[in-house]
């Protein structure tokens, strides 16, 4: 069964497994003790730190191991902002940061700090100039991921880091998704990562704080890991994490181009095979193994289950997943379709045959989900027919407006109902959609863009949407 959810967690790399097994026999003792067992454990820990630092591109004494990447992010944000409280309490983040960063930002705000959120372009990338404009006086810390976890867009970290340096603001980089493909360029100040993202064991994160960066570790002082990550080190897991990071970076030169070609095939073929699909994220500046697309008129949870039954494990940022009833904050910030969202992230070793099998299974799965939702058969209304309908409307043959009541109904129902009735108004007529599902704020405008209709906006109540029917109807499938 192909596992296509490597962006969430990768299978344990063979090098990690070997290192973990070997370190279990030698790394169980307390590395702070002076007896021989302690010294052996200390040697393993120091060697792992040196290997990890070389892979990151930092000094060994700048890197500490944490219980997770989330903990590394929380510690990094809390420690950097606390150390610079005399400069100010401002924190700058992009709108598409990992939820761990946004949760830390919310905690910072509750503690009296301020948070500036930098919007992104439709590709998911920040504009360096816009980011620079957010670095006001009193900014204690800026945060920017190296690559997005959901859509794979690579951020202009080097440019932003240079701007931050000029403004004397430290930049924390979340490198969890990209570090396995290579070091992060630019004069960044802090960096966080998580081993399970590159094939290391879970429960190991890394936090790097460059020399000269002011840092005040949160919580009670601890003698371990430079006082920045309290608790007994899991040395076998740390050794496996460092060994696998070096291994995957060495393999990246050959694996990255191969996976990029497979992802390019998915990006090209999915819109050809499935009507009404939007592929999201930057098509060029992206991670080599990840592609995300959204399907109109599709319940995301139902689609994931259908693909799972077909033998493919994928994930979703859709609003229609069991873990959340609101759209992914990343898709919302990008302003793209959230319905039927699928994230495909290929682990190393994925074959062309596995990708072709996915491309064969996807159309059938989407069709089955649409049929189960009662989506009508696909149809297109040509310009001549639209003109005839407009004329009929002038003669009183059609009503000028239609209202769809989808209150209390979740994605993708509001858009499905809108698609069903758009043909009941003449060109220039208006459909009013009543919907209180949060996903409608993304999906109705996105549907209009895909189908060529004019989105007139949402009323102040946040539940009344208006769409004007256009003579031009792009895309394939339903009008």
Residue by residue, DSSP assigns 414-432 as HHHHHHHHGGGS-TT-EEE
The separation between CA 362 and the C-alpha centre of its own chain, rounded to angstroms, equals 21
Q: What is the DSSP string of 373-416?
A: TTPPPP----HHHHHHHHHHHHTTSS-SEEEEE-TT--TTHHHH
Query: CA 270 → CA 333, 387, 440, distances in Å?
Result: 23, 32, 24
Q: CA 151, CA 235: separation in Å to the nearest integer?
A: 33
Distances (CA, A) of 237 to 19, 59, 250, 293: 8, 21, 20, 35
* Active site (catalytic) residues: 320
Q: Which residues of 464-473 are buried (b: 16+ CB within 10 A; e: fewer)?
A: ebbbbbbbeb
SS3 109: helix
The answer to whether 277 touches 294, Cβ cutoff 8 Å, is yes
Spatial separation of the C-alpha atoms in residues 229 and 233, rounded to whole Å: 9
The backbone torsions φ and ψ at residue 188, rounded to the nearest 5 degrees and listed phi first, read: -70, 165
The burial class, CB within 10 Å (0-12 / 13-18 / 19+), for 76 is buried
Going by their DSSP bridges, the two strands 464-468 and 430-434 should be labelled as antiparallel
Where b means 16+ CB within 10 Å and e means fewer, 29-51 reads bebeeeeeeeebbbebbeebbeb
3-state secondary structure of 145: strand
**Which residues, other chains included, contact 375 with Cβ-Cβ below 8 Å and sequence gap of 6+?**
297, 416, 419, 478
């Amino acid at each position: 069964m192909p596992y296509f959810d490597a962006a969430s967690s990768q299978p344990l790399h063979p090098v990690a497994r070997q290192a973990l097994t070997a370190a279990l026999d030698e790394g169980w003792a307390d590395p702070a003790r002076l007896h021989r067992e302690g010294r052996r454990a200390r040697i393993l820990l120091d060697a792992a730190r040196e290997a990890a630092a070389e892979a990151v591109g930092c000094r060994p004494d700048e890197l500490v191991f944490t219980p997770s990447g989330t903990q590394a992010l929380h510690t990094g944000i809390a420690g950097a902002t606390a150390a610079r409280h005399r400069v100010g309490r401002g924190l700058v983040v992009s709108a598409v940061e990992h939820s761990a960063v946004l949760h830390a930002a919310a905690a910072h705000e509750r503690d009296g700090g301020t948070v500036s959120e930098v919007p992104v372009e439709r590709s998911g990338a920040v504009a360096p100039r816009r980011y620079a404009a957010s670095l006001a006086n009193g900014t204690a810390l800026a945060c920017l991921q190296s690559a997005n976890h959901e859509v794979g867009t690579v951020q202009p970290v080097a440019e932003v880091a240079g701007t931050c340096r000029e403004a004397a603001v430290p930049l924390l980089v979340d490198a969890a998704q990209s570090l396995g493909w290579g070091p992060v360029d630019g004069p960044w100040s802090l960096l966080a990562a998580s081993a399970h993202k590159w094939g290391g064991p879970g429960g190991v994160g890394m936090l790097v704080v460059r020399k000269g960066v002011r840092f005040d570790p949160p919580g009670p002082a601890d003698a371990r890991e430079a006082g920045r990550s309290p608790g007994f080190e899991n040395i076998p897991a740390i050794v496996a994490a460092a060994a696998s990071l070096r291994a995957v970076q060495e393999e990246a030169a050959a694996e990255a181009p191969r996976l990029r070609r497979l992802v390019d095939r998915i990006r090209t073929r999915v819109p050809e095979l499935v009507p009404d699909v939007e592929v999201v994220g930057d098509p060029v500046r992206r991670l080599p193994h990840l592609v995300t697309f959204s399907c109109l008129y599709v319940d995301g949870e139902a689609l994931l289950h259908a693909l799972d039954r077909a033998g493919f494990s994928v994930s979703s940022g859709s609003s229609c997943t069991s873990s959340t009833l609101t759209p992914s904050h990343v898709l919302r910030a990008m302003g793209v379709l959230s319905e039927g969202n699928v994230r495909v992230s290929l682990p190393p070793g994925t074959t062309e045959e596995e990708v072709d099998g996915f491309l064969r299974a996807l159309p059938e799965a989407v069709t089955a989900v649409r049929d189960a939702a009662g989506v009508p058969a696909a149809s297109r209304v040509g310009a001549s027919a639209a003109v005839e309908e407009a004329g009929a409307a002038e003669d009183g043959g059609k009503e000028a407006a239609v209202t769809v009541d989808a209150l209390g109904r979740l994605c993708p129902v509001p858009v499905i109902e809108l698609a069903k009735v758009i043909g009941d108004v003449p060109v220039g007529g208006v459909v009013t959609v009543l919907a209180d599902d949060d996903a409608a704020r993304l999906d109705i405008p996105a549907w209009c863009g895909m189908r060529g209709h004019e989105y007139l906006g949402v009323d102040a109540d946040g539940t009344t949407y208006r769409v004007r029917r256009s003579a031009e109807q792009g895309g394939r499938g339903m009008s």
